[in-house]
Structure 1
Amino acid sequence: MGKSVVLVGCGNMGYAMLKGWMAAGKLAAGDATVVEPNDELRGRAAKLGVTVAESGEALAGDADLVIFAVKPQVIRDVAPAYARFASGATFVSVLAGTGTATFEEILGRHAAVMRCMPNTPAAIGKGMMVLFSNRNVTKDAKAFATALLATSGAVTSIDNEELMDAVTAVSGSGPAYVFHFIECLTAAGENAGLPKETAKLLAMQTVYGAANLASESDEEPGRLREQVTSPNGTTAAALSVLMGGNRLLDLVSEAVDAAKKRSIELGK
């Protein structure tokens, strides 16, 4: 029998990760319990064959891994019910802006706590997960959590917890930036005369293909950009608008900074 995993909260992110773990065969339905107060979301999880409960107080037995995937604003109300697992479980939080110190305060200073910032492409195994572990997390626990999360995409770790706000702003919120870029490129294609569905297909496939090329190539993204850009050509004309005066760089940097500041605010 595998390790026992309790997933607290099964909204969009929790459900996406759960489906990824099970689809990859890394987590059996019998080893998973979902705690979700919302009837509809709890029912959705139950259809995957996992055990479900309305609250932490309703759980029986022990847990090896407890994963918090709830809104940051409710964690102080939700987490105390799991303090009884602290002697043997490792806790993983996917809450934006909520530091390990908060969990140590709620669960006890000896609690093993890991912070994870995933993003929604985890639903199709293409996510980005970034981990930070407090001093109480064992190598075995970290290895198990990493292996589980790796079924949902790429995993990396940071040693400085303060960087998690920047991680949240770049990869946690980042998919929304890309989705909006697809929206904008689609609209621009329509304005240039393309039929709506054609413009949408061109925009989505171009972003998808370029991202894959950047991922698989040994060249830096800047070099790939240069390879597409002929002197005085069409791409150069477009880039003179996007890059002139660091226009796009400044806009994206401003957006990331805003997300980082909000992440810090949520942690207070």
Structure 2
Amino acid sequence: MKIGFIGGGSMGEAILSGALAKDLVSPKDVFVSEIREDRCKALKAEHGVNAVTDSDFVKTAGLDLLILAVKPQVVTEVMESLKDKVPAKMLIASIVAGLPIKTIEKYFPENPIIRIMPNTPLAVGEGMSAYARNEKASSQAAKGIRDILYACGQAVEVKETLLDAVTGLSGSGPAYGFLMIDALADGGVAAGLPRQTAILLAAQTLLGAAKMVVETGKHPDVLRDLVTSPAGTTIAGVRVMEQQGVRGALIDAVLAATERSKELGK
């Protein structure tokens, strides 16, 4: 497989790092277009990939997959510059936030297209991505994308209409997690723990809880009951969280982020 990236930022690098680490692609078969010369040099040095400031390779390198990984405010200009370079039938994947498939199709009407909503933990190999495809993108093409995304965490296929909800939950979700870690650590400090110890305790606790849900497949309520003894410490803490509306606040946060994602996509 030969993969091209338009944009060499942190998310694009996370994806190429995962693909390289899992031997899904060879460094010589990865091409990156990045306008910053210093960034090109860094990508070459770190990963051994081809990194240049132009996008001529899109037309000449025989790519199997082209990934759009630029900022939303420049993507229209980028697609305009690429439309005469992208061969028909080449698979195009986009991780550009708020960019609908129908907009990409205006510039590349003959191409199979997959839209991806990743999140930032991709950078540490624990990303959660969702993707949707247009009618020209086959299930086999989707499998190739899924393999790449699984190299950086996990992935699910959804209808494009659900990608705003994905954005509200897993796209924005790391921020909710960071907030909870910070708040739990503050609680630990208030109880007498050193700050760094409290942060580590909070972060590893949420990491372990999340891993139990993913690996056991059990409902979170079932796992919560396993640590909630009658009249014990955990139920005392859970009771306060319910009284303070933590559950409702998290639900509302996902819904608010989902609505904002819809607004940005218009």
TM-score with structure 2 setting the length: 0.92
CA distance in 2, matches of 1:16, 1:67: 12
Identity %: 37
Alignment match, 1:40: 38
CA distance in 1, matches of 2:212, 2:148: 27
Alignment match, 1:76: 76
Identify if the C-alpha distance between structure 1 residues 188 and 39 changes in structure 2 by more than 3 Å, giving closer, same or farther. farther
CA distance in 1, matches of 2:218, 2:127: 22
Alignment match, 1:107: 108
CA distance in 2, matches of 1:10, 1:82: 16
Residues 76-110 of structure 1 deviation map (CA, whole Å, 9 limit, x = unaligned):
011123223240311001112211001011222x2
The letter for the 1-side match of 2:238 is L
Segments of 5+ residues of structure 2 without an aligned counterpart are none
CA distance in 2, matches of 1:205, 1:143: 32
CA distance in 2, matches of 1:141, 1:216: 27
Alignment match, 1:8: 6
The answer to whether the 8 Å contact 2:34/2:54 transfers is: yes
CA distance in 2, matches of 1:104, 1:70: 17
Counterpart selection for 2:19 from 7, 18, 21: 21
CA distance in 2, matches of 1:220, 1:102: 38
Alignment match, 2:149: 149
State the secondary structure of the residue aligned to 1:85. coil
CA distance in 2, matches of 1:58, 1:216: 41
Residues 202-238 of structure 1 deviation map (CA, whole Å, 9 limit, x = unaligned):
1122112211222222431111112211222221111
TM-score with structure 1 setting the length: 0.92
Alignment match, 1:211: 210
Following superposition, the deviation at residue 169 of structure 1 comes to 1.3
The answer to whether the 8 Å contact 2:19/2:151 transfers is: yes
Identify if the C-alpha distance between structure 1 residues 81 and 133 changes in structure 2 by more than 3 Å, giving closer, same or farther. same
The answer to whether the 8 Å contact 2:59/2:87 transfers is: no
Alignment match, 1:177: 176
Regions of 4+ moved over 3 Å: 57-60
Residues 3-54 of structure 1 deviation map (CA, whole Å, 9 limit, x = unaligned):
2211111211111111111111111111110111123322221221111121
CA distance in 1, matches of 2:59, 2:100: 27
Q: How does 1:1-268 map to 2 (within 5 A)?
A: 3-47=1-45, 48-57=47-56, 59-61=58-60, 62-83=62-83, 84-108=85-109, 110-158=110-158, 160-244=159-243, 247-268=245-266
CA distance in 2, matches of 1:161, 1:264: 12
